[in-house]
């Protein structure tokens, strides 16, 4: 697939800088695959739009992973913790500026252990992460409540970014849905832009996932599954193929993919040239997705992490 198909023009003012209040007041574009019809609804109406779908959510909790540190010389360094890499506070992180740093150097509570590639380091952290919410770089306004970059059902810490389709749910809305939990700890490679000319040349690194046996029994036996978010899709389709309820997945879902356990998709509007947009195209269709995005822009939907959502039935 030519990655130029992942491009689209978005007016900058449509990049959401803050979440909707309340959470479920965000807009919801509904696309019906059987007819090609598009509806414009509100997220709080989600239960009325479903029939017998079991909703599957990703309950990973975002780590306060952005640490602002200083060298002994006084130079500022920013560390973004990406994934816990071992016991005793060992993490993999993205450090900038990185070029002049040396293994063995201490930056306050952080010890630099090993230089990797592309600004990544293995580091050892004293205690638990106590930084800022790792907001994406396209969000320029400070977040008054860090909890708004966290789903209401977040449980096990481990993500470097929020599973943003879940940010729209409220506890009251969840009570009106039949749902199950899976866990995938979101890494930065999920959001790394596709820079190759062909989508097939792009690779993504693994992310940790887990599904409890009882949850998978319900998921496997459900008549229809609505995956809340692209991360939930990757867990469901990984377990459906491997039978393993725990591990790492590097499943790269692109157009032509055969979906085994996802019947409907709830997701936000994603960045151009992203693997997430490729996944949506795999589920919805390339031309169909491009038409949906054109309609969303024409209707002034809000895009990206704090933006509105789309439901594909």
Q: What is the pLDDT of residue 205?
A: 78
In this structure, are residues 290 and 5 in contact, taking their beta carbons and an 8 Å threshold? yes
In this structure, are residues 62 and 154 in contact, taking their beta carbons and an 8 Å threshold? yes
Identify the three-state secondary structure at position 286: helix
- Report the predicted TM-score, pTM, of the whole model to 2 decimal places: 0.95
Of 50, 39, 28, the residue nearest 267 (C-alpha)? 28
Domains along the sequence of the chain with CATH = 3-62+135-312 (3.40.1780.10), 66-125 (2.40.10.240)
Q: What pLDDT digit, counting tens, does each position of 79-98 carry?
A: 999 998 888 899 999 999 99
Q: What pLDDT digit, counting tens, does each position of 34-74 carry?
A: 999 999 999 999 999 999 999 999 999 999 999 999 999 99
**Alpha carbon distance 94, 89 (integer Å):** 15
**Alpha carbon distance 66, 222 (integer Å):** 39
Q: What angle is formed at CA 110 by the lines to CA 109 and CA 111, rounded to 5 degrees?
A: 130
């Amino acid at each position: 697939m030519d990655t130029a198909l992942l491009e689209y023009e978005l007016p900058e003012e449509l990049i959401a800088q803050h979440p909707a209040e309340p959470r479920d007041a965000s807009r919801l574009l509904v696309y019906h695959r059987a007819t090609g019809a598009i509806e414009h609804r509100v997220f709080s109406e989600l239960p009325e739009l479903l029939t017998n779908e079991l909703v599957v959510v990703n309950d990973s909790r975002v780590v306060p992973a952005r640490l602002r540190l200083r060298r002994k010389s006084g130079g500022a360094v920013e560390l973004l913790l990406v994934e816990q890499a071992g016991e005793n506070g060992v993490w993999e992180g993205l450090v900038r500026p990185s070029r002049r740093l040396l293994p063995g150097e201490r930056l306050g509570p952080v010890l630099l252990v090993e230089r990797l590639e592309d600004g990544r380091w293995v580091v050892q952290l004293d205690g638990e992460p106590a930084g800022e919410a790792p907001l994406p770089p396209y969000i320029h306004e400070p977040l008054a409540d860090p909890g708004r970059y966290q789903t209401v059902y977040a449980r096990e810490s481990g993500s470097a970014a929020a599973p943003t389709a879940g940010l729209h749910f409220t506890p009251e809305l969840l009570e009106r849905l039949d749902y199950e939990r899976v866990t995938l700890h979101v890494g930065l490679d999920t959001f790394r832009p596709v820079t190759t000319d062909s989508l097939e040349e792009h690779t993504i690194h693994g992310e940790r996932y887990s599904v409890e046996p009882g949850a998978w029994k319900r998921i496997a036996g459900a008549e229809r599954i609505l995956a809340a978010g692209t991360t939930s899709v990757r867990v469901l389709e990984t377990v459906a193929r491997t039978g393993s309820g725990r591990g790492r997945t590097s499943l790269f879902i692109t157009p032509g993919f055969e979906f085994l356990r996802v019947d409907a998709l709830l997701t936000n509007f994603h960045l151009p040239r992203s693997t997430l947009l490729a996944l949506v195209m795999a589920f919805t269709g390339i031309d169909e997705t491009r038409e949906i995005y054109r309609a969303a822009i024409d209707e002034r939907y809000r895009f990206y992490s704090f933006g509105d959502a789309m439901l594909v039935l």
